[in-house]
A and B are shown apart, each in its own frame.
Chain A
Amino acid sequence: MTAETARRLTARDYKSALKPVWCPGCGDFSILSAITMAMAEIARPPEEVAVISGIGCSSRVPAYTNCYGFHGVHGRALPLATGLKLSRPDLLVIAAGGDGDGYSIGGNHFLHACRRNVDLTYIVMDNQVYGMTKGQPSPTTPPEWDSAMVPGGTGLRPFHPLVIALAAGANFVARAFSGDPSGTAQILVDAIRHPGFSLIEILSPCVTFRPEEREWAKQVHPAAVEETGDRAQAARRVLTDDGFNTGILYCGDRAPYQPAFAASGMEPAGGGAAGNADFDMEFRP
C-alpha cells in the first residue's frame, strides 16, 4: 500500500461488521472506537496489524476490528502476542483484555511481558470486576465490594498494575478513561509508537455489575504532572495518586527484546526442509 492510499485510511477501515456482545453503556465500546481511531492515525494497513486477546468481555475485541486477530484462552494473550511478534517483527501487534485476564490468571505473563519488553502494546480495559461470569471480584476490585461468590467483600488490597508494571520493567505506562475516546486514542498512538512493551490501563465502567462506576466520569482528571522517564519518580506518583489521573505516566528508553528472526515472513512453513551439512558434521564420530 502506498503512502498516499495509507493516508486515506479512517477509523471505519479498522472496524469489522460484527456487533459486539457488550451490554449497552459498556465502556469497552468507546475503547474499541479509540483503538480504531488510533489505527487510522498510525495508518498501517489493517492486514499488517494483529489484535491478540484472552478471555473475558473486553477480550472479544479482536473480532470487532478488521485486523488479523486471535481470541485465545483465558490469561494467555501476552505469550500469544509475544510469540507472534518475535516470529513476525514486521507486524504491529496489540494485546488486549481485562483485569481478570491480565492481572489474575495471566499475572505471571504480565510480569514477564513487562520484563521481556517485546515491542507490544497491551490494552487493559479495567472494570474491576469479572463481567462475563456475571460479577465476581477481580484483583483490582475494592476490598469491601460484596458479591455472591465472596460475600462481604474480599478484604484484600487491590492489585496495583501500574506500579507492578514499572517494577517489572514496562517501557511505557499510561492510564486512560473510556469516557474520553479521543484522549485515549492519542495515548494509544503514543504507546504504539513507543518501542518496547507499553501498558495502557483504561478505566472502563461495567454498567451491569458495577453501576457505581458510572461515577468515574466525574472523578477522572488529566495527570497534573509532566511525563517522566524516571522510574522511581513514576512509581512514587502512581502509588500516591488517587487512581483517576489519566495520561502518560512513564516513558522509558529500554531497547526492546527482538532477537533476529530471518526465517519468518510469508514463507509457508513446514515439510521438505533438507538437512544442514554443518549439523550433520557434528554427529560424525
Chain B
Amino acid sequence: MTQAETQKRASVPDATTALASPTIAFAMLGSGGSGVMTAAEILLRAAARAGYFGLMTKSFGPQIRGGEAAAFVTLSTQPVETQADQVDLLFAIDWKNAGRFAGELQLSTDTLVISGEAGAELPDIATAPRPRLEEINLKALTRSHKGTRPNMVALGAVAGAIGLPRDAIADLVQERLSKKGEAAMAQGLTAVDLGFDEAANFALAQLAPAPEDTPRWIISGNQAAGYGAIRGGVRFAAAYPITPATEILEWLAPRLQKIGGLLVQAEDELASINMIIGGSFGGAAVLTATSGPGLALMSESIGLAVAAEIPLLVIDVMRGGPSTGIPTKSEQSDLNIAVYGLHGDAPHVVTAPNSISDCLFTAQWSTHLAESMQVPAIMLSDQSFGQALGIVEKPAELAFATRRAVAEAPGQDYQRYALTATGVSPMALPGTPGGQYTADGLEHSETGTPSSGVADHNRQLEKRLRKVVDFEYGDHWAQIEGDGTAAIVTWGSATGPVRQAMRRVDPEGRRLRLISLRLISPAQPARLARALAGCSQILVVEQSQMAQFFGYLKAQFELPPMADLYARPGPQPFRAAEIAAKLEEWLS
C-alpha cells in the first residue's frame, strides 16, 4: 500500500457539502514539459473572467530549460496582494525534484494534496505536514482517452475542486487549442471533463461567489511598468538583458515598434544609459530597465543626466543582492544605491510602485516627473511585482498635462541653463535654429560653457536642487490608508502584505494607519510629519537586512525616536501572517 492510500483512509472528509471561502490558494507542481504553467495560467484567466481577483507566482529549478516548475495561485473575492499563508490544494502532476520547493510550499493538515502519479513515493514536503492525500491516476486516464494531456486533466480537477465555472475553463481551453484544430479542441475538453469528474470525489471549500462584475486585467508588474512608461510618453528605449527586468524589454520592443518608437538592445548597461541620454537630448521621452548590477554600471551616466539636465527613466527591478545575488528572487535592497549611488551632489527622483497595478501608474508618473523637471528618475520595482501575474481592477487612465519645457524659438540671448523661477530651463532640441548649445557633464555657466568658478557652481547646484525640491508632487507622494494612531510606514512590495495583515489585525480600520511612500527621493519630511500627525506608535516595515529604508527615514525625514522596525532580507516574500503576527506583538 502506498503512503497516499494509507493516509487517504485515515482522513476521509467528514463534511459532505463544500463550504464557501472568500480566498483559495493552490499550487501546481511538475517536471519540465509537464505543462504546469499553462494549466495554472488558464485557471488564473478563468478566475479573472469569472470576476475574482488573484495572484500567480512561478518558481523554477536552476535549469535554463526543462527543469521542475511550481505555480502558486491565490484567488479571492478581495484584491490579492500576496500569496496566501498556506495552500488549500496542491496538485502534483509528478514529484520529480519536488523537494526543491520545500521553502515555498506552505502545507498543513487542512491542505488537500492530489498526486497525479499513481503509487508514487511522496516526498517529505508533501507528507510531513500530514495533509489530506488523494490520487488521480493521470497516466491511466490519459491513456484510455486518446489525445488527452495530463496537465489538462489536472487543470479540470483543480477547477472542479475549488469551484471555478466549467464554462469559463472550456472557453479558454478552446481558445488556446483553436490553432491546433477541432480534434485537439475536443480532446482538450475531454481532458478537462475527466478532471472535473475526478474532483467530484473530493470535498474542498469552494470559492465564494465572485463580486460584482467589474472589468479585470491580468497583468504582470513588468508589463504594467512598460505600459505605464508608454502612457507617460516613452518612445525610445535602450537596454541590456537582465533578470528579472527582461520582460519589460520584451514587452516593450514590439509595442514600441507598433507605435513608431524603438527599443535597441545595447552592448552593455553603460551603452544603454548613454543611448537613452542621446535619445532624450534629441527630444524623445526615454527609458531603460535593469536590475541592481545594471544600475550600478549606469550610475556614472545617471550623474551626467543630472548635470546636463536630461530627463530619463531607469526602472530597476530589484533582486536579491549584493553582486549577482539571487537573480530570480525579490529584495528591497537597492534603495541606497538608487538614492545615494550618484557621485557629487546630484539631485534626482526615486519612486516606487506599491502594487502590481501601481507599476503602471508609477512608471507613467515617473516619466512625467522626469520630463517636467528635466531630471533622471529611478523607479524601484522588484521581482515580486515584475514576474508575478495579478488579476487586478482595470487601472484608471490618467493623463498628466505637463510636458518638457522646450525652447521653440530661441533668440539671440538663449541660455540653455538659464536660472528660472522653477529651476527648469527650456531645452532647445537639435534642429532648432539659434538654440545650439553643448550639453555638458562639466560644471557650466547658464549658457552651458564649462566653468569651474565658484559662482557658476553654486548657481547651477542650487538650480538643480531647487527644481526637484520645489516641485509640486501632489498627493501621489504616498499611499495613505486609515487614520488609526498606530502607523505602519513602508514602501514598494512590502505594502501589499502589510495591507492584508492590517485587514486581519484591525478589520474595522480603527487602530492602524498605512503610509506607503511612492516618492522615495527627494524626501518629503513635512508631508510625512503631517501624515503621521496624531500617531502614538510607528512601525517601519521593509525587506532589507540593513534596514536601508529605516536608515533613510531617520536621516532625511526626522522620524520620531519611538519608531520601531521590522526588517529582514529576502528572498522569502513577506506573507500576511508573518506581518500580522508582528503587528499583534507590536500593538500589545
Contact = CB atoms under 8 A, between A and B. Distances in A.
Interface of A: 18, 45-48, 50, 52, 62-63, 66-73, 75-76, 78-88, 90-91, 108-109, 111-112, 259-276, 278-280, 283-285
Interface in B405-451: 406, 428-442, 448-450
Q: Is the interface of B mostly helix, strand, loop or mixed?
A: mixed
* Range, interface on chain B: 35 or more
Contact of A69 (B238, B277, B438): B438
28 contacts: A68-B428, A68-B438, A69-B438, A70-B438, A71-B439, A71-B442, A76-B270, A82-B264, A83-B281, A87-B282, A87-B286, A88-B279, A88-B282, A88-B430, A108-B270, A109-B267, A112-B266, A112-B267, A260-B260, A263-B261, A266-B431, A268-B403, A270-B367, A270-B403, A270-B404, A271-B371, A271-B403, A276-B259
A268 B274 contact: no
A83 B238 CA distance: 8
B235 A263 contact: yes
A45 B433 CA distance: 8
Contact of A265 (B218, B264, B283, B450): B283
B430 A48 contact: yes
Nearest to A75: B270
B283 to A, nearest CB: 6
Nearest to A105: B270
Nearest to B442: A71
Most buried by B among A48, A80, A265: A80
A70 B308 contact: yes
B165 to A, nearest CB: 13
Contacts of A46: 436
A90 B283 CA distance: 12
Interface of B: 45-46, 48-49, 215-219, 223, 227, 230-233, 235-236, 238, 255, 257-262, 264, 266-268, 270-272, 274-286, 300-301, 303-304, 308, 311, 367-368, 370-372, 391, 394, 397, 399-404, 406, 428-442, 448-450
A270 B368 contact: yes
Given A263-B260, A269-B285, A271-B402, A47 B217 contact: no
Contact of A283 (B223, B266, B272, B441): B223
Most buried by B among A75, A78, A87, A276: A87
Contacts of A111: 267
A259 B45 CA distance: 36
A83 B276 contact: yes
A284 B449 contact: no
B271 A79 contact: yes
Nearest to B303: A73
Given A62-B438, A260-B260, A263-B261, A272 B283 contact: no
Contacts of B46: 285
Contacts of B218: 283-285
Nearest to B260: A262
B439 A272 contact: no
B431 A269 contact: no
Contact of B304 (A72, A262, A271, A274): A72
Given A63-B448, A79-B275, A270-B371, 9 more contacts: A47-B432, A69-B438, A82-B275, A108-B267, A268-B283, A269-B233, A271-B403, A273-B233, A279-B230
A84 B442 contact: no
B36 to A, nearest CB: 20
Nearest to B218: A285
B259 A263 contact: yes
A271 B271 contact: no
B438 A88 contact: no
A14 to B, nearest CB: 10
The 3 closest A-B pairs by CB, nearest first: A270-B371, A83-B278, A262-B260
B275 A71 contact: no
Given A76-B301, A271-B232, A279-B255, A63 B438 contact: yes
Nearest to B215: A284
A269 B371 contact: yes
Contact of A272 (B270, B403, B442): B403
A71 B431 CA distance: 18
Given A270-B367, A270-B368, A72 B232 contact: no
A116 to B, nearest CB: 8
A80 B274 contact: yes
Contact of B278 (A66, A71, A82): A82
A278 B233 CA distance: 16
B438 A271 contact: no
Most buried by B among A50, A52, A272: A272
Nearest to A85: B278
A264 B264 CA distance: 15
A75 B267 CA distance: 14
B233 A270 contact: yes
A285 B230 contact: no
A80 B402 CA distance: 26
A275 B397 contact: yes
Contacts of B280: 269
A268 B404 contact: yes
B436 to A, nearest CB: 5
A121 B436 CA distance: 20
A81 B437 CA distance: 16
A79 B48 contact: no
Contacts of A268: 283, 403-404, 406
Contact of B264 (A86, A90, A267): A86
B328 to A, nearest CB: 24
Contacts of A50: 282, 430
B404 A47 contact: no
